[in-house]
Amino acid sequence: MDENQPSSSTDIINNQEVDSEVTWKHPSHLFQRLLALFLMCLIGFGSYFCFDNPGALQDDFIQDMNLTTSQFVYLYSWYSWPNVIMCFIGGFLIDSVFGIRLGTVIYALLVVLGQIVFAAGAYLNTLWVMLLGRLIFGIGGESLAVAQNNYAVLWFKGKELNMVFGFQLSFARVGSTVNFIVMEPLYRYVKQHINIPNYQSLSIVLLVASLTCVLSMLSALLLAWQDKRAERILHRKLSVSTEVVKITDVKHFPNIFWLVTFIIVCYYTSIFPFIALGKVFFEKKYNFSPDAANFINGVIYIISAICAPALGLVIDKTGRNLFWVFLSILGTLGSHMFLAFSFVNPYFAMLTMGLSYSMLASALWPLIALIIPEHQMGTAYGIAQSVENLGLAVVALLTGIIVDADGYYMVELFFCFLLTVALLLTAILWTWDSMTNGILNMSIKQRIQLESNKIPRPEKQNLLHDNDTLNED
C-alpha cells in the first residue's frame, strides 16, 4: 500500500492569510487546521485498516474457506494488480475530472463498496466475489491515498506539510496495527456467540471492519464541506495545471532513476508479502498464539507509526540518504536472516526490521526528487509506485507458491535474496554517485551550499523542497 506524493499540478496560487485576529471558526485558525488534519488522517484509516484484514485472519480464511496459500495471496495480488496503472489514473482524474472533493468522496465510496463486496464473497464462500471486492477496494484505496495527499498540499503547503505527511503515515500504520490486534479476537467473539458456518462469521467480521471505511467516507464528506467553506472564505482558487503529464516522459528518465525504482521494488517485496504471510510463520515456527503472532507481525507497523516522523527528522538534519538507505537494507537483511536461520526470539529481528523500514521510507523515496526534474515528479513517483505494485503482485503470487511447495524457510531465503539484490544495487548507486556530483549522499549542509550556488528559479521554488521529505510507504 502506498502513500502517494502530492500531485504537483494542484497548487495554491492565492492562499491569503488573514493576519487580523481570527476566531476558531475561521479556516486559517489553528483549530480548523488541526481538525482538517484529523479528518485527513481519518480518510486513510479505513482503507489501511481493511487492507490487512486477510493478513490478520490468514489461517481463518484458509481453513474456513478451504483455500490454499496461493489462493490466499490472490487477496493481496488482486489488490495490487489494478494499481499497476491506477496510480496514474487516480491522480489524473482528481486533477482533471472530479476535483479533489468529489474525487475523495467517490474513492472513499469505492473503498466501502469494495469491502462490502469482499464480505459478501466470504458470506457466499465464493473466492471470485471476494477477489472482485478486493479489486474495487484496491482501486478506491490507492486513489484515496493520492487524494489524501492532495488535500494535505492544499491545506498545509508552505506551513507544516512535512509534519502532516509524517502524521498521515503514522495514522495509516495505526490503522494497520489496530487491524492486526482486534480482528482475531473479534472473529473469535463472533464465532462463539453466533451459531453460523465459520465463513459466515468471517463475513460478519469483515462487515464490521467496513464500518471503519464508512467512518473514512464520513470524514471525506466533512472535509469536503470544510474545504468548500474554506475556499469560499479564503477566496482560494486552484491553478489550472500547466504541466501535462505524458507517458512518453518516461523514456527520458535517467538510468539511476530505474536503479532507485528497482531498489524500491526489491525492498518492499521483501516486506509486504512477508507481513501477509507472517502470522502463520510466527505461529508455526515459534509456537506463538494467533494473537501474539498478529502482534509481532504488526510490530513493523507499530514502530513505523511511532518512529516515522522522528526518523524523517533525522534525515532532514543529516542528509546522507544513500548511507541511511544502505544501513536500512542491511538491517532488514540481517532481520530476515535471523528469521530464516535461527530460532532466537523473533522480537529482536522484528524491531530491527521495523526501524529499518521506517528509516528507509524517509531516506529512499526523496532520492527520486533529487534525480528527476520537478515538473516530471508526478510521473516519476507514479512510475515508481506502479512498478512497486507490479513487483508486489508478482512476488505475492510467488511466495504463496513457494510456501505451498517448499515451506517458509525457502520463502525467507527468497526474501534474503531480494534484499541482497537491493543492497548490491544500492552499492552500485552509491558508487555511481561518488564518481559523479555526489548529490544523493550529500549532507544537508553541502546540499544547501549547492542550492545556494544555483540561480534561483522564480516559480514553485519550494516545491522540490517539500517533496524532498515525503515519506513513502
Q: Is 292 in the site for other proteins (CB under 8 A)?
A: no
Residue placing its CB nearer to other proteins in the complex, 31 or 347: 347
List Cβ neighbours of 232 (8 Å cut-off, separation of 6 or more). none
- Phi, psi (degrees; rounded to nearest 5) at 12: -95, 125
- Closest distance to other proteins from the beta carbon of 184 (Å): 13
List Cβ neighbours of 252 (8 Å cut-off, separation of 6 or more). none
How far apart are the C-alpha atoms of 441 and 250, rounded to whole Å?
A: 24
Q: Is 197 in the site for other proteins (CB under 8 A)?
A: no
Question: Is 140 within 8 Å of 108 (Cβ atoms)?
Answer: yes
List Cβ neighbours of 241 (8 Å cut-off, separation of 6 or more). 9, 10, 95, 96
Q: Which of 406, 461, 462, 465 binds other proteins (CB under 8 A)?
A: 406
How far apart are the C-alpha atoms of 90 and 179, rounded to whole Å?
A: 26
Q: Which of 16, 345, 434, 461 binds other proteins (CB under 8 A)?
A: 434
Q: Which of 350, 416, 442, 463 binds other proteins (CB under 8 A)?
A: 416
Q: Which of 102, 215, 401, 439 binds other proteins (CB under 8 A)?
A: 401
Q: Is 13 in the site for other proteins (CB under 8 A)?
A: no
Return the range that interacts with other proteins (CB under 8 A); candidates 142-150, 204-212, 260-268, 421-429. Answer: 421-429
- Closest distance to other proteins from the beta carbon of 192 (Å): 12
Helix 69-80 vs helix 83-93: crossing angle, to nearest 10: 30
- Write out the binding residues for other proteins, residues 261-280 only, by CB under 8 A: 280
- Phi, psi (degrees; rounded to nearest 5) at 69: -60, -40
- Write out the binding residues for other proteins, residues 35-94 only, by CB under 8 A: 59, 62-63, 68-69
How far apart are the C-alpha atoms of 442 and 161, rounded to whole Å?
A: 23
Q: Which of 414, 467, 468, 473 binds other proteins (CB under 8 A)?
A: 414
Question: Is 347 within 8 Å of 299 (Cβ atoms)?
Answer: yes
Cell numbers given for 335: 532481520
Residue placing its CB nearer to other proteins in the complex, 428 or 444: 428
Q: Which of 26, 29, 236, 285 binds other proteins (CB under 8 A)?
A: 285
What is the distance, to the nearest Å, from the Cα of residue 107 to the centroid of all Cα atoms in its chain?
Answer: 16
Q: Which of 91, 93, 55 is nearest to 75 (CA)?
A: 55
- Write out the binding residues for other proteins, residues 312-341 only, by CB under 8 A: 340-341
Q: Is 127 in the site for other proteins (CB under 8 A)?
A: no
- Phi, psi (degrees; rounded to nearest 5) at 50: -80, -25
Q: Is 417 in the site for other proteins (CB under 8 A)?
A: yes
Q: Is 408 in the site for other proteins (CB under 8 A)?
A: yes
- Phi, psi (degrees; rounded to nearest 5) at 443: -75, 165
Q: Is 256 in the site for other proteins (CB under 8 A)?
A: no
Q: Is 410 in the site for other proteins (CB under 8 A)?
A: yes
Q: Is 284 in the site for other proteins (CB under 8 A)?
A: yes
What is the distance, to the nearest Å, from the Cα of residue 66 to the centroid of all Cα atoms in its chain?
Answer: 30
Q: Is 351 in the site for other proteins (CB under 8 A)?
A: no
Number of residues lying near other proteins (CB under 8 A):
37
The DSSP bridge partners found for residue 319 are: 443
Distances in whole angstroms, Cα of residue 96 to Cα of each of 48, 153, 240 = 26, 17, 9
What is the distance, to the nearest Å, from the Cα of residue 184 to the centroid of all Cα atoms in its chain?
Answer: 23
Helix 321-341 vs helix 290-318: crossing angle, to nearest 10: 160
- Closest distance to other proteins from the beta carbon of 402 (Å): 8
- Closest distance to other proteins from the beta carbon of 109 (Å): 35
Residue placing its CB nearer to other proteins in the complex, 38 or 417: 417
- Closest distance to other proteins from the beta carbon of 208 (Å): 23
Q: Which of 18, 196, 247, 428 binds other proteins (CB under 8 A)?
A: 428
- Closest distance to other proteins from the beta carbon of 237 (Å): 48
Question: Is 267 within 8 Å of 360 (Cβ atoms)?
Answer: yes
- Closest distance to other proteins from the beta carbon of 199 (Å): 15
- Residues at the site binding other proteins, with contacts judged by CB under 8 A: 59, 62-63, 68-69, 280, 284-285, 340-343, 398, 401-410, 413-414, 416-417, 420-421, 423-424, 427-428, 430-431, 434-435
